[in-house]
Structure 1
Amino acid sequence: MTRRLRTLLAVPLVAALLAGGCGIPDSTEVQRVGPGPSTGVSTGEDVTPTRHDRLAGSDPATFVRYYLEAAAGDPNTAMERVKQFLSPTAASSFEPAAEVRVVHLVDTPLVNPGSIDVLLRAQTVGVLNHNGILDPAADGYAQEYTFTVSSTSGQTGLFVTKAPPVLLISDDALDRFYERRKLYFWNHEYTGLVPDERYMPRDLPSEQQPNEIIKWLIAGPSPWLGNAVEILPEGTALDGNVPAPSGGKLQINLSGQAVRPPDDQTKLDRLRRQLMWSLRRSGQWDTLELKVGNQNSVEYTGTDYYTSNAAYALETTPERFLVYNGQVRRMSGSPYASDPVPLLRPEDNRFVRAAALAGSGSRRFAALVVTAGGREELRVGAGAADEKVALAKISPLPKGTTGQPVWAITSTEPTAPAIGLVTVGGRLYSFTSDSPQLTKVDGAGDGITAVAVAPDGRRVALVSRGRLSVAALSTAGDSVRMLPAEQILTAPLKQVSAVDWSSETWLTVAGGRVDKSRVAIFEMTIDGSFVSERLADIGTESVSYLTAYPVSPVSGTDSSDTIAYVANGDAFDVLSDPVRISVADLAVPVPNPPSGVKPTSPSFLR
């Protein structure tokens, strides 16, 4: 079911990395859920949420919840706001660690009758730093925090007389006081932009936000993306502050080091596309005036920069496929339902267990897991959209079960090969569309049961031993390497079994719920800071495979409308409830369907 998503966004704060990530929580409480994802693009109006002050909470439990809002927002005044909740004695000695820790409450704050202590049990979601980066937590186990709350002689209301020595904000405060924004960095091939999610304080005036975003771009990407994308040239700096947009025009002056040599129009064009995507904001400006060093300023108008982001090209309604009786078949009700399956010759489209079909410009790519001679094989091929090609057998396959293949495409060049990924025996391997070789992906580890690739082709989501991680791929040289992964807190789920991308920065995940022995599907941000319920209960059978077709970043939502999954061998569409996919959903009817043969492995042309 598609739900309107609450925006959750964040901002620059103070930070030191905090250990954190994904793990099986030690609480059985129902975890936070909310409406589904929204666009995350501001309307252009400054909306500062109402902040609860010290006198708003009359009971200790509510008072502590409001305390967890105090550090959220403008980092320059965070300490001042926190100290307003502290007694004078506590404020004078309060010296928190240099970090802002985002936590998720697993229980309501606990207060024993007659006690002045409030016990808070919370999981660490991550740590916010000064560049608006939320570093995800490394485990999901609950930590206890104790607050002493009482009145103070001669003062009205409650005070915290003893606080944990750390700046804490709740994930609810993150949702209310920050706006989610995307920065973009070029991949190493300069064929596409890769998004990097950041958090902007809602109390930062809109006219100051471009200044902050450009500073973040200059500072570089989030650590987990670092070596997978290009940073701005050394010495790039703002030449003065960015003035507020006027007359629909945003003016940016950068130092001459931003483009070297200064007359390189290709590099200038890449820079303006990166800026326009990173600064894209509804209702604020439609013309970018960019001046670099002593060069004349150049004005850019329109949306031609959209094409630099592969996610922009995502279709509103994708082509749909499934595997039925060992063949890849088109589904009815999707585009080109009456056309043949791309690339596949009849002699290749047999004994298929799983399939991945992808497109890039005029090119199409196919990867099939087939059963031949009692063994599994991987077969791949590439060609023009209207071409039939012979698939190449990738051999030898390592021992172990072969998972669902996926494509990681970063170029629309007609001759550029595409990289594919597949799990075999719990390990991740790469292959290309033009080489019959399977190569282990360095840095990926083992125990991997699912892998999903973001629209940019450089970021991946992984399920390993029931835990969810995100990572970036590096394709320098002839090999594919995975950069260190970030484990993500999946609070409502005790164990994740399947994942795919709903949009550039949201994931759809399936797994067993923490609060009961049932399986559910959730949507969540890639840093685990916000989770929303998609299907609260889909039974007790584990989801062995899940696929989602991501939405375009200009669609107005981050929630995919097209999701399907497989549980206990049965395939389902995700609507307001699970809807079983049957032989009647094949585009070409089957006159006498064999008994007991069910459609499986639903997929999309990516």
Structure 2
Amino acid sequence: MRKLARTLLAGALTGTLLLGGCGIPDNTDVVTVGPGPSTGFSSNDDGAPPRYGREATLDTAKFVEYYLQAAGGDPDGAVDRVKQFLSPAAAASFKPPEGVKIVYLTEDPLVNPGSDQVELRVRTLGVLGPNGRLDPVQDTGITTYQLSVASISGKTGLFVTKAPPVLLLSDTAFTTWFVRRTIYFWNHEYTALVPDVRYLPADMPPEQEPQRIIKWLIEGPSDTIHDAVEPLPEGTALLGNVPAVSNDKLQISLSAQSVRPPDDPKALDRLRRQLMWSLRPNLSRVLELKIGNQEQTSYDGNDYLTSNPTYRLADSPERFLIYNNQIRRMSRTPGAADPLPVIKPEANRNVRAAAFARSPSDRRYAALITTEGNHQVLRVGSAGIGELSDLRRVTLRGGSTGQPVWAITSDDPQTGAVGLLTIGGKLFSFSADGSPLRAVAWPGPPGMITAVAVAPDGRRVALAVGGKLYLAALTADGDGPQLSPPRQVQLPVLREVSAVDWGTETSVIVAGTRADRDRVAVIDTAIDGTQWIESLADIGVEKVTYLATYPVSPSSGKVTPDVIEYMANGATFDVLSGPVRIGVGDLAEPVTNAPAGVVPTAPSFLR
């Protein structure tokens, strides 16, 4: 079992590095290339990561490690850097397809003394293209690559004399040589920005980063969110190069087609907000934006931050639990003494699960799963802040019901509010007006849907299906809510996934059975599976049936949520402080004569 020695944003050290790389051998040939990254990389603030050449070691295992780092960095030179490790004959015939395969080594490279053969057993996490996207791959399990490592008469050092016909990059080298960046696209209603992940080479000069980011924005969103967001208008182009920041100003010139309709101040404002969020690590103080032949406009405030729903999340959440069939607030949390949102006191009975959400204008939404005799019923409603509302009843049929979750909570009455709920392993949507449930087709591989979680942007969805983790995008139009074709997230650390929720806008918290033994763990993983840390390495053998987290804002500087809670074997636990079991004493209102065996369950938050 290995654990990343870096946080999800390549920050503080937290674990043990898998592929050595710690310490420099006596005969090392180290080459440092280019200026360092401006953000997201901490191991060498004054330059790019050290690059180890072919002659850096005569140890075969270490040589293979360095070979699996060579494709990292500037994509244009990846093939040439790998060829430097190959023998002349192998280099002459090396013609890999475009893209770099990011691989997780399931075990140390198999090196046999006295033999030139080396065996690599890996799982492919994705393929990194020149556009900075990490594209998913079909889950084929473990792949074995064979290579030959030997010396050549008349030449110093080792060579790869027979290489796989692909560019391979270990996941640990990937997190060293690439910096995760988030670009943003507006949803169809222009109510919120939706994040999209890209990767910048760590050896790219900082002054070149804005140009690359804008190029990615013009190329459009990734396939995962393509159907849920608006691309930039057709004809958008960057006019000239983006100059280096001068006098605290970042200057960008775009074609007149970048704003549609022309001269629409709202369209221009949306564009600059999208640019400012996407270029946020590169902004010093002022963005100067020039569209076509118009006069340039300067933006120097922070008002753009509110366009990202994750930014609008509270620093500390209002926290709820179900106790004795009622929703109760938790003690020592915001609003602990306040009435429940939306719900009238007489409706707070026979509850087994609940979900609360708020719209951009702070309208509140509530969804309750309640019991009526032997049947379960969904009750939904909405109200203004400080107001209460009668809940509407929606009949549920089809099997065991999961935890409801709100997705789209728009202030636009035409869009309304959309929530998601699993019933009998299938996905359904509901709305706040009490209309009947609508089936949401699962466009991925067959399997029972055991968990669904929605990102703060309301469009990206993480699901546990058949024990695997998937990401998809949610769209809501006249045909009803639909999911985009899902992307499976490769998680070599877990054999089976049972629960999931969002931790940041680019990471999720996942619970499941470990790959190395029949024990349960909670991990914090990037949404593409390339980086993870173990929040709890071992919590026993009881399956986690439900997970609830409160995401942190990208402006907080935090890379993991402050609040993670889970349920296993009917009990509720707080992750970050132990785990510690949540009991009756954690309820805001004191409980007298507590019924034997009744414990708090189903934690939730106002999001």
| TM-score bracket for the superposition, by shorter chain length | over 0.9
Partner Cα distance (1:552, 1:340) in 2: 26
Deviation at 1:45, TM superposition (A): 6.0
* Residue matched to 1:498: 499
User: What is the alpha-carbon distance in structure 1 between the residues aligned to residue 48 and residue 103 of structure 2?
Assistant: 22
Counterparts of 1:429-444 in structure 2 under 5 Å?
429-444=428-443
**Partner of 2:406: helix, strand, or coil?**
strand
2:399, 2:424 within 8 Å by CA — same for their partners in 1? yes
Correspondence for 2:324: 325
By how many angstroms is 1:409 displaced? 2.9
Structure 1 residue 374, shift from structure 2 partner: 0.7
What letter corresponds to residue 9 of structure 2 in structure 1? T
5 Å-filtered alignment, 1:175-190, equals 175-190=175-190
Where 2:346 maps in the other structure, the secondary structure is coil
| CA offsets 1:219-259 (integer angstroms, 9 cap, x no match) | 00111111110001111111001111111100000011101
1:168 aligns to what? 168
Do residues 340 (structure 1) and 339 (structure 2) align?
yes
Deviation at 1:384?
1.3
What TM-score comes out, normalization by structure 1 length? 0.92
Structure-2 change in CA distance of 1:443 and 1:142 (3 Å): same
Partner of 1:468: 469
Deviations 1:300-357 (A, max 9, x none): 0111000111110111110000000000000001001011111112221111111101
Offset, 1:77:
1.1
Contact kept, 8 Å, 2:96 with 2:167, in 1: the verdict is yes
**Which residue of structure 1 aligns with residue 210 of structure 2?**
210
Return closer, same or farther for 1:4/1:563 CA change in 2, 3 Å cut-off. Answer: farther
Partner of 1:384: 384
Q: 1:398: how far off?
A: 2.6
Tell me the number of residue pairs that the alignment of Structure 1 and Structure 2 aligns.
578
Tell me, what secondary structure is at the counterpart of 2:218?
Answer: helix
Q: Do the aligned residues in 2 keep the contact of 1:33 with 1:532 (CA within 8 Å)? A: no
Residue 399 of structure 1: aligned partner: 398
**Alpha-carbon distance between aligned partners in 1 of 2:119 and 2:163, rounded to the nearest angstrom:** 11
Equivalent positions of 1:150-299 (< 5 A) are: 150-281=150-281, 284-299=283-298
Q: Secondary structure at the match of 1:90?
A: helix
Question: Residue type of the partner of 1:511?
Answer: G
Confirm or deny that 1:479 pairs with 2:445. Answer: no
Following superposition, the deviation at residue 410 of structure 1 comes to: 4.8
> Partners in 2 of 1:47 and 1:557 — Cα distance?
24
State how far apart, in whole Å, the 2-side matches of 1:251 and 1:414 are: 38
Question: Do the aligned residues in 2 keep the contact of 1:5 with 1:557 (CA within 8 Å)?
Answer: no
Match of 2:7 among 5, 8, 11: 5
The aligned counterpart of 2:515 is: 514
Given that 1:31 and 1:106 are in contact with CA atoms closer than 8 Å, whether structure 2 keeps it comes out as no
**3-state SS, counterpart of residue 347 of structure 2:** coil
Task: State yes or no: 1:128 paired with 2:162.
Answer: no
Alignment match, 1:119: 119
Between the aligned partners of 2:339 and 2:233, the Cα distance in structure 1 is: 47
1:477 deviation in Å?
2.1
* SS at 2:504 equivalent: coil
Deviations 1:92-150 (A, max 9, x none): 11111222110000010101221101000000000001210001232161100011000
Matched to 2:593, the amino acid is: N
CA contact (8 A) 1:462 1:499 kept: yes
Q: Determine the structure 1 residue equivalent to 2:540.
A: 539
Return the offset for 1:448: 0.4
* 173 and 42 in structure 1: CA distance in 2 versus 1, 3 angstrom threshold: closer
2:109 is matched with 109
Partner amino acid for 2:466? R
Report the alpha carbon displacement of residue 46 of structure 1 after superposing the two structures with TM. 6.1
- State the AA in 2 paired with 1:293: G
Whole-angstrom CA distance in 2 between matches of 1:424 and 1:47: 53
| Distance in 2 separating the partners of 1:42 and 1:286 | 22
Label 1:494 to 1:351 Cα distance change in 2 as closer, same or farther (>3 A).
Answer: same
Contact map agreement 1:32 1:531 (CA 8 A) in 2: no
CA 1:31–1:45: 2 relative to 1, 3 Å: closer
- 1:271 and 1:302 map into 2 onto residues whose CA distance is 15
Q: Which amino acid is the alignment partner of residue 160 of structure 1?
A: V
Return the letter of the residue paired with 1:347.
E
Q: State the partner residue of 1:27.
A: none
Correspondence for 2:557: 556
Structure 1: distance between partners of 2:106 and 2:161: 24
CA distance in 2, matches of 1:109, 1:431: 50
**RMSD between aligned alpha carbons?**
2.0
Query: What's the CA shift for 1:260?
Result: 2.8
Matches of 1:136 and 1:251, distance apart in 2: 35
Q: Which residue of 1 aligns with 2:139?
A: 139
Kept in 2, the 8 Å contact 1:444–1:482? The answer is yes
Which consecutive residues of structure 1, in runs of 5 or more, have no partner in the other structure? 10-29
Q: Is the 8 A contact 1:192 1:308 kept in 2?
A: yes
SS of the residue corresponding to residue 347 of structure 1 reads helix
In structure 2, C-alpha distance between the alignment counterparts of 1:204 and 1:496, rounded to whole Å: 36
Corresponding residue SS for 2:51 = coil
Are 2:342 and 2:389, in contact at CA under 8 Å, matched by a contact in 1? yes
Q: CA deviation at 1:31?
A: 11
CA distance in 2, matches of 1:76, 1:293: 31
Unaligned runs of 5+ in 2: 21-37
Residue type of the alignment partner of 1:150? A
Q: Deviations over 1:387-437 (max 9, x none)?
A: 121110112x23111100000135356896321000011111111112322
Answer yes or no: is the 8 Å Cα contact 1:442–1:480 preserved in 2. no
Deviation at 1:61, TM superposition (A): 1.6
Once the 2 structures are TM-superposed, how far is the Cα of residue 6 of structure 1 from its aligned partner? 5.0
Cα pair 1:242 1:251 within 8 Å, conserved: yes
2:35 corresponds to: none
Q: How far does residue 442 in structure 1 lie from its aligned partner after superposition?
A: 2.8
Q: Distance in 1 between matches of 2:412 and 2:54?
A: 59
SS of 1:455 mapped into structure 2: coil
Match of 2:368 in 1: 368
Indicate yes or no: 2:565 matched with 1:568: no
Change in CA separation of 1:157 and 1:148 when aligned onto 2, cut-off 3 Å:
same
Hey, what's the Cα distance between the residues in 1 that align with 2:81 and 2:479? 53
Instruction: Give me the whole-angstrom Cα distance separating, in 2, the residues matched to 1:196 and 1:379.
Output: 34
Question: TM-score scaled to structure 2, two decimals?
Answer: 0.92
Q: Would the aligned equivalents of 1:33 and 1:531 in 2 still touch at CA under 8 Å?
A: no
C-alpha distance in structure 2 between counterparts of 1:504 and 1:375, whole Å:
36
1:515 shift after superposition: 1.1
Quote the sequence identity (%). Answer: 56
Kindly indicate whether the alpha-carbon contact (under 8 Å) linking 2:9 and 2:559 is maintained by their aligned counterparts in 1. no
- SS, match of residue 274 in structure 1: helix
Query: What does residue 599 of structure 2 align with?
Result: 598
**Corresponding residue SS for 1:269:** helix
SS of match in other structure, 2:98: coil
1:314/1:213 CA distance change after superposition, 3 Å: same
